[in-house]
């Protein structure tokens, strides 16, 4: 299995490619670089304006060659030119065809440096994807593709989907031998909790339970740390936490999501607007067991 990078010949496309390479290297897998061209018909149908479509296809093929040339030699990469009704549809259909384990896309144009602006493509993916979606903030390309991930942060609450989120975080930390940090959002999940000592105690116990599960799966030399996020709002809580430039954070889907599908919830959306590190949104599982239960 490999990672699917939704590519465009734009800075956002280069951001996605840079993050895709870093994730692929960490997971020991390859990448599929996918460029989607708009078509009202199915990919097998010949476009009505053959001359124009041929010219556009040639341009797209050139963009894909340039993208492939950017990928370091130690990361296996294949390119794919896809026709679909929309960019998001093309990525989702291709991910299903290829059996991709993750889709990587860049932020929309005109976002502040190091911040997210969710465009139509990312928004569509974040509401219907069947696999995790990784979001590369504006400027990710400037850090290069050679920098390794230094820490995986998993932001977990107690709602449905927490178990799937924790398991995905453990898998990513294990494959790249990267430290795992577990941040409990229990204090933010509970109305009026904030900095209440009892709520913080429960949050710490929740994080410790998740850490025990992670340590039982990871090798004995693995580094697993815990923190409790607290504040008057999710925005305040996440800004109280220290973030490194080479962190990546994993968050879960809304409880409204269908099993094994994404639906970007309010907590994750608020975190997106505050954080400057790449974020992976993980579909909720069909199971209802939550961490610590």
**Could you state, in order of their start, the residue ranges of all structural domains in the chain?**
2-143, 151-282
Task: Determine the pLDDT at residue 159.
Answer: 63
- Please report where in the chains the tokens 């973030």 appear, as a residue: 243
For domain 2-143, say whether CATH 3.30.420.40 is its number: no
Query: What's the pTM value of the predicted model, to 2 decimals?
Result: 0.83
Is 43's pLDDT higher than 50? no
**CB–CB of 128/28 below 8 Å?**
no
More confident residue, 177 or 1: 177
Which has the closest alpha carbon to 126: 91, 162, 174? Answer: 91
Superfamily of segment(s) 151-282: HUPs (3.40.50.620)
What is the structure's pLDDT at 16? 94
Q: What is the pLDDT of residue 79?
A: 97
Buried residues in 128-158 as b, exposed as e (16+ CB within 10 A): bbebbbbbbbbbbbeeebeeebebbbbbbbb
Q: Helices 11-27 & 162-176, crossing angle to 10 degrees?
A: 80
More confident residue, 39 or 282: 282
Strands annotated E in 97-242: 102-106, 133-136, 151-156, 180-184, 224-228
> In this structure, are residues 282 and 251 in contact, taking their beta carbons and an 8 Å threshold?
yes
Classify the C-alpha dihedral 222-105-14-29 as positive or negative. positive
User: Average pLDDT over the chain, rounded to whole?
Assistant: 79
- The torsion angle over the Cα atoms of residues 53, 125, 77 and 10, rounded to 10 degrees, is 60
Calculate the CA 87 to chain-centre distance: 17
Q: What is the mean pLDDT of residues 257-270?
A: 56
Q: Are 35 and 7 contacting, i.e. CB atoms less than 8 angstroms apart?
A: yes
Mean pLDDT confidence for 144-156: 86
Alpha-carbon gap, residue 240 to 235, rounded angstroms: 9
Topology alike, domains 2-143 and 151-282: yes
The answer, yes or no, to whether residue 260 has pLDDT greater than 80, is no
């Amino acid at each position: 299995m490999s990672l699917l990078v939704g590519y465009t010949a734009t800075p956002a496309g280069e951001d996605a490619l840079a993050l895709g390479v870093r994730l692929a290297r960490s997971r020991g897998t390859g990448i599929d670089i996918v460029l989607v061209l708009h078509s009202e018909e199915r990919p097998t149908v010949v476009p009505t304006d053959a001359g124009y479509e041929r010219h556009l296809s040639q341009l797209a093929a050139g963009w894909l060659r340039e993208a492939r040339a950017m990928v370091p030699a130690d990361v296996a990469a294949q390119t794919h030119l896809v026709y679909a009704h929309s960019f998001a549809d093309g990525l989702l259909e291709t991910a299903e065809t290829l059996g991709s384990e993750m889709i990587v896309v860049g932020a929309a144009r005109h976002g502040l440096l190091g911040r997210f602006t969710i465009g139509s493509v990312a928004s569509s993916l974040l509401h219907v994807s069947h696999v995790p979606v990784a979001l590369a903030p504006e400027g990710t390309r400037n850090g290069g593709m050679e920098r390794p991930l230094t820490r995986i942060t998993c932001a977990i609450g107690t709602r449905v989907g927490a178990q799937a989120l924790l398991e995905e975080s453990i898998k990513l930390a294990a494959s790249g031998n990267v430290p795992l940090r577990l941040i409990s959002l229990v204090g933010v999940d509970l109305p009026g909790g904030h900095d209440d000592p009892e709520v913080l105690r429960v949050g710490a116990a929740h994080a410790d339970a998740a850490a025990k599960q992670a340590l039982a799966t990871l090798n004995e030399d693995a580094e697993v740390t815990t923190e409790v996020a607290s504040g008057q709002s999710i925005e305040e809580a996440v800004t109280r936490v220290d973030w490194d430039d080479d962190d990546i954070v994993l968050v879960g889907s809304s409880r409204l999501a269908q099993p094994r599908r994404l639906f970007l919830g309010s907590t994750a959306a608020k975190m997106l607007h505050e954080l400057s590190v790449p974020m992976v949104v993980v579909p909720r599982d069909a199971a209802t067991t939550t961490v610590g239960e």
